[in-house]
Amino acid sequence: MKKERKIKNSFNNLIVTGGCGFIGSNFIRHLIKDDNFSGRIINLDKLTYAGNPENLEDIATEFGPRYVFQKVDICDAVKLEKVFSEYDIDAVCHFAAESHVDRSIKDPGSFIQTNIIGTFNQPDFVICDQELLKTLPEDEYLSGLAEMIKSGFIGDAGLIGEIEKNVEPILKRETSLLSKLIARTVKIKASIVSEDEKESGIRMLLNFGHTFGHAIESQSGLKHGFAVAGGMKIAADISVGMGFLKPVDRDRLLSLLNSFNLLTDNKISYDEVKKYILQDKKRSGDSLNFIILEKTGKAVVKKIPAEILLDYYTGQNIV
């Protein structure tokens, strides 16, 4: 059965990078002919050996002002800024890269530039478009909120207070409020990631709720945030069980997750959970680097034997 596609007409100006390459040119050809899309495509391509503007000559003739080509290297910030100010860009679809395997052997400089340096460099700034959030289905939106709640519990008690005070306006997706909350969430993540780029220490805190969350996600098919919410509940129960967290803080987490309907009744079998726990990337030997909550706004990494985590899991009657 053909999958139904919906392309938002709200995309008036879309940048496609690497649009003269194999995938980019096919993507542009396909999109511009789609009846649901009436916007303009701005194709930015540096025209390396792999790019050929002739791929789209017929499209340029047929679709005229709705298709614009500019020869631009996407590493050139000045040129990019000019394009962004010339057109009111709504979205970027990114295909530009030195992609052919043999380029990593012969003349690897440009391959390294786009495929390696580009992957390692941290962004200079992050733009989040809150208006776009209004276009999301309810479950996708709520799923994202779970990660915001996670960030607050691991690193910013003040953010949790703000979310608790504003449940209704958050559910109504009030733009100015979301801007503040998202900026605060991004700051928590940025400060953790910049302290630990290689994920050897405190960056693991970002995995709070994810060990059991991944098991739930794969077994239940729930959206990521809902599964992580379930994983946070189990991690908070374990934190209380092991004496690290006061029950009042666990209840605070559960009540906030419930205000956004993030907790669902999911029962994953012991065997499935065990399989996931033993595959966890934070495992070392028979133990796991597990994220324990100490209080609202503070989490720590503790090395805990997998057997103990599984005992808590069954002991809580959630099998």
- Distance, CA of 7 to CA of 112 (rounded, Å): 34
Nearer to ligand NAD, 79 or 295 (CB): 79
71: which 2 tokens? 């020869």
Q: Alpha-carbon Rg of the chain, whole angstroms?
A: 23
C-alpha distances out from residue 181 to 16, 40, 150, Å: 30, 32, 13
Angle between helices 157-165 and 175-195 (to 10 degrees): 160
Chain residues binding ligand NAD by CB under 6 A are: 17-18, 20-24, 44-48, 50-51, 73-75, 95-100, 114
Nearer to ligand NAD, 46 or 250 (CB): 46
- Distance, CA of 143 to CA of 138 (rounded, Å): 8
- Distance, CA of 19 to CA of 23 (rounded, Å): 7
Nearer to ligand NAD, 111 or 208 (CB): 111
Contact 42, 13 (CB under 8 A): yes
> CB 122 → ligand NAD: shortest distance, Å?
18
Nearer to ligand NAD, 73 or 164 (CB): 73
> CB 67 → ligand NAD: shortest distance, Å?
15
> CB 228 → ligand NAD: shortest distance, Å?
28
Nearer to ligand NAD, 16 or 206 (CB): 16
- Distance, CA of 57 to CA of 69 (rounded, Å): 10
Residue showing tokens 């530009």:
96
Nearer to ligand NAD, 118 or 144 (CB): 118
105: which 2 tokens? 């052997």
> CB 129 → ligand NAD: shortest distance, Å?
23
> CB 15 → ligand NAD: shortest distance, Å?
11
Nearer to ligand NAD, 44 or 159 (CB): 44
Task: Using DSSP bridges, classify how beta strands 40-45 and 287-295 pair: parallel, antiparallel or unpaired.
Answer: unpaired
Give the bridge partners for 299, in sequence order. 293
Beginning with the edge strand found earlier in the chain, give each strand of the sheet holding 13-17 in spatial order. Answer: 67-71, 40-45, 13-17, 91-94
Tell me how many helices (H) and strands (E) the chain has.
15, 7
Nearer to ligand NAD, 52 or 219 (CB): 52
> CB 312 → ligand NAD: shortest distance, Å?
41
> CB 60 → ligand NAD: shortest distance, Å?
15
> CB 104 → ligand NAD: shortest distance, Å?
11
Name the closest residue to ligand NAD (Cβ).
21
Residue type (1 letter), 120: F
Cβ atoms within 10 A of the Cβ of 9, count? Answer: 10
The one-character DSSP state at 245 is S
